[in-house]
Amino acid sequence: MNGEWLIRGRDGRLSVYLVTQDAVLCRAEQVPGGTWDAPRRTGGDQRVHPGLAVGQGADSYAHLVAWRPTVPGESGLVHSTHFRPLLAALDWEPVGHPNGKGDRTGRPAVAVDPQGRAHVFVRNAAGGLGMRAQKQKGGWGPWRDLKGADLQGAPVAVAGRGGRIEAYAAGAGTVQHWRQEAPGTEFQLVDAVEAAARPDTLRALATSDESTTLFFTDTSGTLCAWRPGADPVPVLSAAGAGPVAALRCELDGHDCTLLAQCSSSGRVAFAAYPAEQESAGAWWTESGPRLPADAEVSLALDADDRVVAAVLSPSTGSLLLTRRKDEPGLALTAWETV
């Protein structure tokens, strides 16, 4: 999945999205902090391909984007909005294909502006970045070619300063950055930096009211942080091969960036440091049981603004959860299967 798939809804309930071979399922708390319901299919009965992008707006509505098969050998992107965790999501609606038609070109990303408009990003057949956004009064604007070159892996997108959307993608020996100058304006490719980023390890986070930070693992195995306008800086050695989960939160009265990653040992590793102060240093602390090789981790804040981490294994369907205790530091409760 692309994006944090553990989210807090408008009513305070947590929910998670699970991907099967032909559907997207949702599970949610019955009440904040309570028991969880059984998995429910989202988006109606249409079949979708594995691979889901999740984004969330300031209104806390979840936006889901996936590919679905259309005719033999071709696919199109579809979008669904989920307003409340225990309500049914809207049926999948077509978003189309960045090249008009064809097969899947790569995993999509989605971000939501302050007006609640979803922006869908995906690599196009030419290796650049395609984007399509919802209109304010309904429907979708045209597909736009945002250029870029030799993109590899999935892009990532985030709502940053002033609500403007920013997108990042890895290229051949580069990391590239697009942004709006103001919400609702055209996107520009504004920066590219030399970096040997491993495809599909990117995660973007609004780390302050002014900046977004891109996290990625380079080919040496170092987890790096990049804020456009400067050079990428090393944070620490990556705990595992996949992307990190990232969350802005308060720890002991400090504005912090919290990272989590499924480690090569099979457990979940956590690291935290003062927001945008990578030079302060960070180190991993592992937690929980050993997990299946395909396990993924995601982070969110619950209704009481406590850190919550969830781990999901697509092969087994198992969901594990832990929360921060009411203690100094990042002390966590025992992991529970829900």
Q: Which of 246, 274, 308 is the last residue of a domain?
A: 246
- 185 inside domain: yes
Is the same domain home to 237 and 300? no
Q: Which of 203, 220, 246 is the last residue of a domain?
A: 246
- 233 inside domain: yes
Pairing of strands 14-19, 52-56: unpaired
Q: Which of 246, 273, 302 is the last residue of a domain?
A: 246
- Domain housing 323: 247-338
pLDDT band at 128 (very low <50, low <70, confident <90, very high): very high
Asked whether the predicted pLDDT for residue 138 surpasses 90, the reply is: no
Share of the chain above pLDDT 70, in %: 100
Q: Which residues contact 72 (CB under 8 A, 6 or more apart)?
A: none
Is the same domain home to 267 and 178? no
Asked whether the predicted pLDDT for residue 165 surpasses 80, the reply is: yes
Is the same domain home to 264 and 174? no
Is the same domain home to 27 and 41? yes
- 21 inside domain: yes
DSSP sequence for 252-296: TTEEEEEEEEE-TTSSEEEEEEETT-GGG----EEES----TT-E
Is the same domain home to 203 and 266? no
Query: Maximum distance among all alpha carbons in the chain?
Result: 56
pLDDT band at 301 (very low <50, low <70, confident <90, very high): very high
Is the same domain home to 237 and 254? no
Q: What is the pLDDT of residues 36-80, one digit of tens each?
A: 999 999 999 999 999 999 999 999 999 999 999 999 999 999 999
Q: Which residues contact 217 (CB under 8 A, 6 or more apart)?
A: 197, 198, 201, 223, 224, 238, 241, 243
- 1 inside domain: no
Triad 288, 293, 299: Cα angle to 5°? 50
- 276 inside domain: yes
Give the total number of structural domains in the chain.
2
Output DSSP code: residue 243.
P
Is the same domain home to 46 and 187? yes
How far is it, in rounded angstroms, from Cα 12 to Cα 218?
36
What's the average model confidence in pLDDT over 11-27?
A: 94
Is the same domain home to 129 and 193? yes
Among the listed residues 261, 247, 331, the one whose alpha carbon sits nearest the alpha carbon of residue 291:
261
Asked whether the predicted pLDDT for residue 278 surpasses 80, the reply is: yes
pLDDT band at 201 (very low <50, low <70, confident <90, very high): very high
Q: What is the pLDDT of residues 70-110, one digit of tens each?
A: 999 999 999 999 998 888 899 999 999 999 999 999 999 99
Asked whether the predicted pLDDT for residue 137 surpasses 90, the reply is: no
Is the same domain home to 252 and 222? no
130 Cα distance to chain centroid? 18
